[in-house]
């Protein structure tokens, strides 16, 4: 896997580069701003770009805009957006019309190295990975009638969040310390409560969840 | 009676007759003196006598036109004193011209009259003088407080934004780097469960710290507001409440951070209240830029009867008033709720 990193804070950029190299992932370029990202992608045609949302010079959503532009120029490019906060509007803009090869994670997820590397693999392979906070934010009860959360149990919500991250049943079971059978039961319940068509393929499952969430977006 | 026919009152008619008689008499005496050989200017004394009632008439009229009460009383005293002073001066002028007087004999009398009248005026009007002085001082104070408060509020908002940015680039970034390093360390001690568990705990603490900092930063200024401004932030907010909230925003200029944040939190609080209490089918948000003021209105078609003194609204009101704005709630029972906020902005 060949990766470009766009991150302006040296401390994080260097940490990420070291982490990836230790795990035999090739970092072909490290840049600090949006134009740098576009140049690096044109020059290296990487499989994946890891992009910080806030980049110079505006330190607002430069990274997001650069990532969207990069995907327009190279549609098969996987983009993993890293941010210190989750903003569902950004997730929906990044996803646009094409859900393949998109990830949106909170920065601190890099601490769980195995899960983070899994996410990189999935995004590079054309999967979709959404931070569990995206789900939380979309399902946070506002007291209005018919909010989806009231229909899910706490455990089911946890499972849904992990599903949004694109994890397999086994990984979800491991993470929640339950049996894979229990996870399957929860998933069946979630799908029936949210009126989603049942399916077992991990990626298609994320898409189904995503489709549901986009109604809410 | 031609003057009465012209619409004059009896008093005005008599005054005008008096003025004419006085003028006529003065001219007549002057003519007699001229025909009589023009010796000693005796008509001057008669002129003086004739001038006094006319003078009194004018000054009394002026005094009577003053505001009733202490001011009119003081004006009457000044009118009388003025007439007396004129009589004294004219008399002295005549004695000097006609009789060769050497001394300015009215000096002491004039001084006495001036002192007495001034003392009386000060005594009668001292409260007014003090009030006028106090009012001026108060107005200056209010002006000063208004401008310093405006500066303080603006500076505070700018400072909060700076703190938010510092948190983002400083403490939060370092904590993220810390979890990353801990993650790398954890990979290297895969065969030592005890060390792994310690590292795991450390990571959890770091994550909690990051969560807390994130909540803190979001409370200062929500990321979307900082990144894209009021319109985008309000649209995202409205979408999240699932009330089918219609958003109508008509402001495109960049607003001061204090105004922007306050407007945002007004909408957030109003929508939260709508979702929690209003039992509404529809809601709407309207943001209008009226040039000198930003007007934010949030409404719903719910049950109305909102508690305008609730703690959430009280907090908002304080925020809005700190910007010299006004907050009003219109919420008749069964008739929906409209919360409107008007914030002055340059």
ipTM for the complex?
A: 0.85
Rounded mean pLDDT, A1-5 = 96
**What one-character DSSP code corresponds to residue A196?**
P
A89 CB neighbours in chain B (<8 A) are: 224, 232, 235-236, 239
Number of CB pairs, chain A paired with chain B, less than 8 A apart: 97
Answer yes or no: do A165 and A192 share one domain. Answer: yes
pLDDT of residue B12: 83
Q: What is the CATH number of the domain that holds A175?
A: 1.10.10.10
Give the closest of A12, A111, A144 to B173, CB-based. Answer: A12
CA distance A52 to A40: 15
Answer yes or no: do A144 and A121 share one domain. Answer: no
Lay out the sheet containing B326-330: strands in order across: B246-250, B283-289, B293-300, B337-344, B326-330
Portion 27-66 of A in contact with B at CB < 8 A = 54, 59-61
CATH code for the structural domain at B225-344: 3.30.565.10
Domain boundaries, chain B: 2-105, 154-220, 225-344
Structural tokens at position A196: 């989603």
| pLDDT band, residue A148 (cuts 50/70/90) | low
Residue B60's contacts (CB-CB under 8 Å, 6 or more residues apart) are B76, B79
Number of domains composing chain A: 2
Helices A202-216/A88-95 angle, 10° precision: 120
Q: Which of A75-79, B65-69, B188-192 has the lowest mean pLDDT?
A: B65-69
Domain boundary among A103, A130, A157: A130
Answer yes or no: do A82 and A116 share one domain. Answer: yes
- Select the more confidently predicted residue: B207 or B305: B207
Instruction: Provide, rounded to the nearest whole percent, the portion of chain B with pLDDT above 90.
Output: 44
Domain boundary among A96, A130, A164: A130
Answer yes or no: do A115 and A147 share one domain. Answer: no
Q: Does A24 touch chain B (CB under 8 A)?
A: no
Q: Does A17 touch chain B (CB under 8 A)?
A: no
Residue ranges of E strands in chain B: 246-250, 283-289, 293-300, 326-330, 337-344
A108 CB neighbours in chain B (<8 A) are: 175-176, 179, 206-207, 210
How many Cβ atoms from other residues are within 10 Å of residue B309's Cβ? Answer: 9
Answer yes or no: do A180 and A203 share one domain. Answer: yes
Asked whether the beta carbons of residue B183 and residue A85 sit closer than 8 angstroms, the reply is no
Q: Give the nearest chain A residue to B232 (CA atoms).
A: A89
pLDDT of residue B202: 96
pLDDT in tens, B263-289: 999 999 999 888 888 888 889 999 999
Residues A60-94 as b/e (b if ≥16 CB within 10 A, e otherwise) read: bbbbbebbbebbeebeebbbbbbbbbbbbbbbbeb
Answer yes or no: do A80 and A172 share one domain. Answer: no
CA distance B204 to B208: 6
pLDDT of residue A144: 44
pLDDT of residue A100: 87
Say if residue B35's pLDDT is above 50.
yes
**Mean pLDDT, rounded, of chain B:** 88
pLDDT of residue A17: 96
Answer yes or no: do A9 and A107 share one domain. Answer: yes
Give the closest of A61, A113, A216 to B187, CB-based. Answer: A113
SS3 A82: strand
Per the structure, the complete domain to which residue A164 belongs is given by 136-216
| Helical H segments across B36-105, by residue range | 43-64, 70-99
Residue A124's contacts (CB-CB under 8 Å, 6 or more residues apart) are A1, A47, A48, A78, A101
CA distance B102 to B88: 15
Asked whether the beta carbons of residue A88 and residue B240 sit closer than 8 angstroms, the reply is yes
| pLDDT band, residue B295 (cuts 50/70/90) | very high
The shortest C-alpha distance from A170 to chain B (Å) reads 20
CA distance A81 to A71: 12
| pLDDT band, residue A92 (cuts 50/70/90) | confident
B183 CB neighbours in chain A (<8 A) are: 19, 110-113, 116
Answer yes or no: do A95 and A115 share one domain. Answer: yes
Q: Give the nearest chain B residue to A88 (CA atoms).
A: B236
């Amino acid at each position: 896997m060949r990766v470009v990193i766009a991150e302006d804070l040296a401390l994080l950029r260097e940490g990420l580069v070291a982490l990836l190299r230790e795990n035999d992932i090739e970092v072909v370029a490290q840049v600090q701003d949006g134009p740098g990202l576009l140049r690096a992608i044109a020059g290296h045609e990487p499989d994946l770009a890891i992009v910080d949302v806030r980049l110079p010079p505006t330190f607002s959503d430069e990274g997001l805009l650069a990532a969207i532009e990069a995907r327009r120029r190279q549609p098969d490019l996987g983009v993993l957006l890293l941010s210190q906060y989750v903003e569902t509007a950004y997730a929906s803009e990044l996803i646009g019309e094409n859900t393949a090869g998109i990830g949106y994670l909170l920065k601190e997820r890099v601490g769980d190295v195995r899960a983070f590397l899994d996410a990189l693999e999935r995004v590079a392979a054309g999967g979709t990975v959404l931070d569990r906070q995206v789900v939380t934010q979309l399902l946070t009860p506002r007291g209005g009638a018919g909010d989806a959360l009231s229909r899910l149990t706490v455990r089911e919500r946890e499972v849904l969040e992990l599903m949004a991250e694109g994890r397999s049943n086994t990984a979800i079971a491991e993470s929640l310390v339950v049996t894979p059978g229990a996870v399957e039961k929860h998933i069946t319940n979630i799908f029936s409560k949210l009126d989603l068509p049942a399916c077992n393929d991990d990626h298609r499952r994320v898409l189904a969840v995503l489709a549901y969430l986009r109604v809410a977006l | 009676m031609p003057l009465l026919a012209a619409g004059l009152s009896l008093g005005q008619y008599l005054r005008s007759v008096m003025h004419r008689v006085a003028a006529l008499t003065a001219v007549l005496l002057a003519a007699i003196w001229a025909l009589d050989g023009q010796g000693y200017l005796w008509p001057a004394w008669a002129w003086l006598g004739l001038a006094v009632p006319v003078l009194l008439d004018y000054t009394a009229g002026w005094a009577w036109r003053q505001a009733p009460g202490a001011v009119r009383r003081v004006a009457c005293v000044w009118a009388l004193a003025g007439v007396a002073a004129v009589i004294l001066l004219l008399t002295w002028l005549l004695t000097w011209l006609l009789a060769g007087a050497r001394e300015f004999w009215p000096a002491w009398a004039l001084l006495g009259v001036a002192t007495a009248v001034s003392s009386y005026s000060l005594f009668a009007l001292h409260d007014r003088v003090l009030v006028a002085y106090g009012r001026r001082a108060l107005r200056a104070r209010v002006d000063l407080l208004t401008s310093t408060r405006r500066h303080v509020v603006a500076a505070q908002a700018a400072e909060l934004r700076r703190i938010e940015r510092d948190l983002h680039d400083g403490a939060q970034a370092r904590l993220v780097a810390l979890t990353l390093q801990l993650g790398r360390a954890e990979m290297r001690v895969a065969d030592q469960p005890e060390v792994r568990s310690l590292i795991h705990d450390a990571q959890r603490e770091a994550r909690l710290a990051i969560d807390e900092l994130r909540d803190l930063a979001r409370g200062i200024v929500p990321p979307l507001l900082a990144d894209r401004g009021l319109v985008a932030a309000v649209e995202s907010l409205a979408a999240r409440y699932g009330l089918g909230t219609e958003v109508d925003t008509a402001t495109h200029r960049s607003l001061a951070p204090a105004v922007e944040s306050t407007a945002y939190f007004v909408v957030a609080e109003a929508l939260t209240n709508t979702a929690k209490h209003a039992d509404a089918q529809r809601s709407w948000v309207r943001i209008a830029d009226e040039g000198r003021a930003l007007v934010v209105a949030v409404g719903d078609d719910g049950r109305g009867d909102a508690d305008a003194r609730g703690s959430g609204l009280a907090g908002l009101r304080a925020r809005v008033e700190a910007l010299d704005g006004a907050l009003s709630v219109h919420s008749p029972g069964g008739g929906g709720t409209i919360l409107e906020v008007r914030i002055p902005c340059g």
